[in-house]
C-alpha cells in the first residue's frame, strides 16, 4: 500500500490512472477505523480497479467548541488495517496542504444543510461538502463510498454532486452495528462504561419505532413519542433532535407513507451520537 500525503502527487497519480482507463474508487474517512470503515473499503474494492482511502480529520467541519483536537487519531493502526483490506493508496493530506493560507472557497448545499444536524452544527456541512469536493478533484474517482450512519451527509453529497455536475457515482452503504446494536462510530471511544450502556437507547428507540410501524402505526406523533420515551428514561442522555423525514428531501413528514427515515441525535454524557433507520409502511413491507 502506498501512502501519499501531497495533494499534487495524489492528483498526478489519479490523472495517470484515468488516462489508462483505470477505474478509481474513493472511500473518504477521518480515520480511527472500525468495522464500519472496513465494510466501506471492502465494498469499494468491488467497484473498481484501484481503491483509495483518504484519511483527513477535516478542521472546517468542526465548530469552535467541538472535538477537533480530541478526535481519535491512530495512524499506524489505521495504515495496518487499510493495508489488510487491500487499499492501494492511503491518502493523508495535511491541514496546510488542504487549506493553505489565503484559502477562501467553500461549497454550500443550501436547503438540505439547514435541518437535523445542520441546525445544531452551524457550518458543519459546508466544511463536509467543501472537503469532499476537494478530495474528488484530487483523487478523480469514478465512485465514492459513504456510510448511511451520516444520512444527512450522504444526501448532501449526492445533491452537491448532482448540482455541480461532479462525475462521481455516490454510493451509500448500510450502518454497521456492534453486536448489541450500537452504530459503530469513532466517537464511541469517548464513552465511559456507564455511558456505553446508556448509548444503547438509540438502537432500542429504533427497534421500538420499527416495531410500531410493523404493527401498522404510521403517525409521526406516536412514533416520536415512543422514541422519546426510550431516550428520556435513560440516564446521562439529552436529545438534540428526533425526526421523521422524507428519505430524499429530509423534510419532516406527518406519517410513514411509503418510506420515511427516522433520525436521532442524542448526547450521551458529552458525546454526541447519531443514528437513523428506514421505516417502511407495513402495508408495503409485508405483502
Residue 17 or 33 having the CB closest to ligand PAF: 33
CB 279 within 8 A of CB 259: yes
Residue 29 or 271 having the CB closest to ligand PAF: 29
CB 201 within 8 A of CB 227: no
H-run or E-run covering 242: strand 237-245
61 sits near ligand PAF (criterion: CB under 6 A): yes
Q: What x/- string results for residues 230 through 269 when contact with ligand PAF is judged by CB under 6 A?
A: ----------------------------------------
DSSP 189: G
CB 127 within 8 A of CB 61: yes
State the minimum distance, in angstroms, from the CB of residue 95 to ligand PAF: 12
Distances in Å between the Cα of 176 and the Cα atoms of 4, 34, 151, 180, 277 are 28, 9, 13, 11, 12
For the annotated catalytic residues, the residue numbers are 37
State the minimum distance, in angstroms, from the CB of residue 150 to ligand PAF: 5
Q: Which of residues 126-185 bind ligand PAF (CB under 6 A)?
A: 128, 131-132, 150, 153
Distance between CA atoms of residues 114 and 95, nearest Å: 26
Alpha carbon dihedral 12, 13, 14, 15, in 10-degree steps, equals 50
107 sits near ligand PAF (criterion: CB under 6 A): no
State the minimum distance, in angstroms, from the CB of residue 147 to ligand PAF: 7
State the minimum distance, in angstroms, from the CB of residue 37 to ligand PAF: 8
Number of residues that bind ligand PAF (CB under 6 A): 10
The set of cell numbers assigned to 12 is 498526478
The set of cell numbers assigned to 67 is 472535538
The set of cell numbers assigned to 261 is 427515515
Max CA distance (Å), the chain: 59
DSSP 164: T
Q: Which of residues 198-237 bind ligand PAF (CB under 6 A)?
A: none
Binding segment for ligand PAF (CB under 6 A), chosen from 125-133, 170-178, 233-241, 261-269, is 125-133
Residue 28 or 48 having the CB closest to ligand PAF: 28
State the minimum distance, in angstroms, from the CB of residue 31 to ligand PAF: 8
DSSP output for 254-270: SB-SSEEEEEEEEEETT
Distance between CA atoms of residues 94 and 131, nearest Å: 12
Q: What x/- string results for residues 14 through 53 when contact with ligand PAF is judged by CB under 6 A?
A: --------------xxx-----------------------
Residue 175 or 209 having the CB closest to ligand PAF: 175
Residue 36 or 48 having the CB closest to ligand PAF: 36
Residues that bind ligand PAF (CB under 6 A): 28-30, 58, 61, 128, 131-132, 150, 153
Amino acid at each position: 500500500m502506498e501512502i501519499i500525503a501531497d495533494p499534487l502527487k495524489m492528483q498526478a497519480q489519479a490523472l495517470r490512472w484515468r488516462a489508462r482507463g483505470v477505474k478509481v474508487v474513493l472511500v473518504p474517512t477521518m480515520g480511527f477505523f472500525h468495522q464500519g470503515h472496513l465494510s466501506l473499503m471492502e465494498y469499494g474494492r468491488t467497484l473498481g480497479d484501484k481503491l483509495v482511502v483518504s484519511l483527513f480529520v477535516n478542521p472546517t467541519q468542526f465548530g469552535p467548541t467541538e472535538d477537533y483536537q480530541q478526535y481519535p487519531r491512530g495512524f499506524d493502526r489505521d495504515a495496518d488495517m487499510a493495508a489488510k483490506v487491500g487499499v492501494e493508496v492511503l491518502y493523508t493530506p495535511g491541514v496546510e496542504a488542504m487549506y493553505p493560507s489565503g484559502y477562501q472557497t467553500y461549497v454550500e448545499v443550501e436547503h438540505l444543510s439547514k435541518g437535523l444536524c445542520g441546525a445544531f452544527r452551524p457550518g458543519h456541512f459546508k466544511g463536509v461538502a467543501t472537503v469532499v469536493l476537494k478530495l474528488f478533484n484530487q483523487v478523480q474517482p469514478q465512485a465514492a463510498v459513504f456510510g448511511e450512519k451520516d444520512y444527512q451527509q450522504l444526501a448532501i453529497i449526492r445533491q452537491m454532486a448532482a448540482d455541480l455536475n461532479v462525475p462521481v457515482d455516490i454510493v451509500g452503504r448500510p450502518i454497521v452495528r456492534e453486536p448489541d446494536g450500537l452504530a459503530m462510530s469513532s466517537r464511541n471511544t469517548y464513552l465511559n462504561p456507564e455511558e456505553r450502556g446508556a448509548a444503547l437507547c438509540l438502537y432500542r428507540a429504533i427497534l421500538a419505532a420499527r416495531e410500531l410501524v410493523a404493527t401498522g402505526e404510521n403517525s409521526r406523533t406516536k412514533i416520536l413519542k415512543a422514541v422519546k420515551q426510550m431516550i428520556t428514561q435513560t440516564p446521562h442522555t439529552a436529545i438534540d433532535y428526533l425526526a421523521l423525514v422524507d428519505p430524499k428531501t429530509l423534510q419532516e413528514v406527518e406519517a410513514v407513507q411509503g418510506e420515511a427515515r427516522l433520525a436521532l441525535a442524542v448526547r450521551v454524557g458529552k458525546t454526541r451520537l447519531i443514528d437513523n433507520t428506514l421505516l417502511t409502511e407495513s402495508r408495503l413491507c409485508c405483502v
